Amino acid sequence: MGRTAMWRVLRKHFLRRALGCAGFTAIVVGVAVPAAAQPPIAPVSPAQPGSCLGPWLGDSQLDEILTGFTPPWKLVAQRLGQAVAIKDSHDPVTIAQYMAGLNLKSRGDFERALYAYSGLNAQDIGGFVAANAALVRSFSLAVQAHQDWYESLTARLLVGIGSNITVLGPVPEVQFSQDQLAAMRTAFAADDGLITNGGLLLAYPDREERNETVTRQYRDLSDTMRAITGADNALWSTYAVWASDEIGRNLFGNIDIVLAEAAGGNPRYWLSVGNSQLVSDIGPAFRSFVQTFGQGRNRGTSFAQFWAAFQQSHRGRNISYVDGSGDPSLYMENAFKAYYEVMQLNDAEPGIADPVQRAASSTRRAQLTLLANTLVGLQEQSIVQPVLDNGLCVLSVVNPAGAGGVGVDYDLPQADGSGDLKLHTDQTLPNTPFRVELSLPFTTVGGQTVPMNQVMQELLDGLRNNYFHIDRYNPANNAALDWQNYSQRMGFIFSMFADYQRYGAPIFLDPRQVFGTRSTPLDNTPEIAVLTILSL
């Protein structure tokens, strides 16, 4: 059956249903289904007067009603215009020239650019990315800027009908083959600016697989950073591994997500936004530190030289703390100054013969690590605040005292490496035997030398939304009754960092080994191929 003929059948079918008819059929989109596998069409019972007009209308009457309706592919062609021919050319030079002439801030132009880009053959993608680095970087940032629309192309909706569960979703106008996805992942991995940002969204259209990729990136950053700063202390990126895995379990679905979606919220979208946004923003500083200092490299480089080079190489990537515009308190710069000092201490410790001096060095290294972790956490939670405000507050999904308490508990492995040690964010977190306490001095990037405990207490007590001036540095006040509240959230996070930084081997495990995996590699079809419509 041709496309036009199929459209004629479909539109009459949907019109009959809109007029109140019962029925049972299957609509197959782009997939050949054997006749034996197709569900039978149930007979339509004679309708009561006024209850079902569809069966009493002939094809000619339906055609008259539907006159003026435009098939969807014609609407697509009208909207995309020249992009259709550009895509069909499959020519990298033509596609690059076309994309370069578009205003990627415009939703319409971005859609046209994405459509044209999808015409690249898999074998041409690597060369296209290398030859058009600035264009592809701008394009990847545009993907992130238009994530709400882009995510809607691959949204899934689980609908229960009797004992059946049907996965519903749109059939997207833009599709990438598995070969194209694999080629993008290889090409983007060669450019630090494309590993994250919109490049992550482009190469991983499925949310669950994208989340597992983010989790893996955090684990790689944790392992490679710890090789520089010391294997005995968890880093911010270590905690991010488990937080990202927690997001993955929420993306897969639980009662809190279902309740929020039933109330009209879109928590999976906002979780996905926050997950990809944070690794795109915070990740580059960790990656640059590893690239600069990993495997004993560049020990003659001062921290000031490192930070200046990082700032210069990462301009124009929409990173919050580059140029200082999104980090007026210099959280990230001070954090990485502390990590730099931790590196120096770790390098020197093997040569310290005196056990007392070596223990003192280890203690200072632990305190500097806690300071750095928390400063990164302050920046991270400032970035994610709009996500909490805009997307996760339906039915108190981010409020542990409300319906969504399970959704924000923090899960770690038990001490023996098995799951599940659940840290309840709405309850006071008890101190552990390996808690790190701050006491030693630190010299900030501004040249001021102050005790780390004083710095941290002032930072936590001065956070916005600390309406009653509660001492968040005090572990007795670490419960976050409202996870949407920045001050309460950071009080819990600081205590968790202090108590579990030296938790030991379990915190460095792969969460996929502890809690299992949820995604399919190279999943390029989160949308449905078969849409089943059942009468209710």
Task: Check residues 321 and 176 and name the one with the higher pLDDT.
Answer: 321
Q: Would you state the pLDDT for residue 425?
A: 86
Q: What is the Cα–Cα distance from 473 to 462, expressed in whole angstroms?
A: 11
| Mean pLDDT of the region 468-491 | 89
**Predicted confidence band of residue 39 (pLDDT cuts 50, 70, 90):** very low
pLDDT over threshold 80, residue 267: no
With H, G, I as helix, E, B as strand and everything else as coil, classify residue 511: helix
Whole-number percent of the chain with pLDDT over 90: 43
What is the pLDDT of the chain when averaged over all its residues? Answer: 78
With helix as H, strand as E and coil as C, how does 320-364 read?
CCHHHCCCCCCHHHHHHHHHHHHHHHHHHHHHCCCHHHHHHHHHH
Three-state SS string over 105-139 comes to CCHHHHHHHHHHHCCCCHHHHHHHHHHCHHHHHHH
Mean pLDDT of 72-89: 77
Please tell me the least confidently modeled range out of 42-51, 86-95, 282-291, 428-437. 42-51
> What are the CA-CA distances from residue 273 to residues 81, 137, 200, 238 (Å)?
30, 19, 11, 20
Q: Is the pLDDT of residue 153 over 60?
A: yes
The whole-angstrom distance between residue 93's C-alpha and the CA centroid of its chain comes to: 32
Across the range 477-503, mean pLDDT stands at: 92
pLDDT tier, 137 (very low <50, low <70, confident <90, very high otherwise): confident
pLDDT of 416 strictly over 90: no
**pLDDT exceeds 90 at position 265:** no
> pLDDT tens-digit profile of 192-214?
655 556 788 888 888 888 888 89
The long-range contacts involving 214-221, CB below 8 angstroms and separated by at least 24 positions, are 214/244, 214/275, 214/276, 214/279, 215/241, 215/244, 215/245, 215/248, 215/511, 215/512, 217/279, 217/283, 218/244, 218/279, 218/283, 219/510, 221/283, 221/286, 221/287, 221/290
Q: At what angle do helices 331-348 and 355-391 cross, to 10 degrees?
A: 150
446 has a pLDDT exceeding 50: yes
Q: What is the pLDDT of residue 442?
A: 98
Most confident of 41-45, 79-83, 306-310: 306-310
Pick the residue with more confidence: 160 or 313?
A: 313
The reported pLDDT for the residue numbered 83 is 92
Query: Which one, of 410, 344, 333, 434, lies nearest residue 375 by Cα?
Result: 333
Q: 285 near 321, Cβ under 8 Å?
A: yes
Q: For residue 148, what pLDDT is reported?
A: 77
What was the pLDDT predicted at 60? 55
Q: Beta strand 164-168 with 157-161: parallel, antiparallel or unpaired?
A: antiparallel
What contacts 12, CB < 8 A, 6 or more positions away?
A: 59, 62, 66
Mean pLDDT calculated for residue range 526-536: 32
- What pLDDT is recorded for position 375? 97
Whole-model pTM: value is 0.78
With a cut of 80, say whether residue 528 has pLDDT above it: no
pLDDT category, 131, cuts 50, 70, 90?
Answer: very high
* Cα–Cα distance for residue pair 490/477, rounded to 1 Å: 11
Q: What is the pLDDT of residue 193?
A: 55
More confident residue, 429 or 391: 429
Q: What is the pLDDT, as a whole number, of residue 207?
A: 82
Start-to-end C-alpha separation, the chain? 29
Query: Which tokens sit at 467?
Result: 């309406």
On the question of pLDDT at 75 being above 80, the answer is: no
What is residue 197's predicted lDDT score, i.e. its pLDDT?
61
Measured between alpha carbons, how far is 88 from 73 in angstroms, rounded to an integer? Answer: 15
**Helix (H, G, I), strand (E, B), or coil: what is residue 103?**
coil
* pLDDT of 14 above 80: no
Residue 442, helix vs strand vs coil: strand
Q: Residue 273: is its pLDDT beyond 70?
A: yes
Region 154-161: mean pLDDT is 45
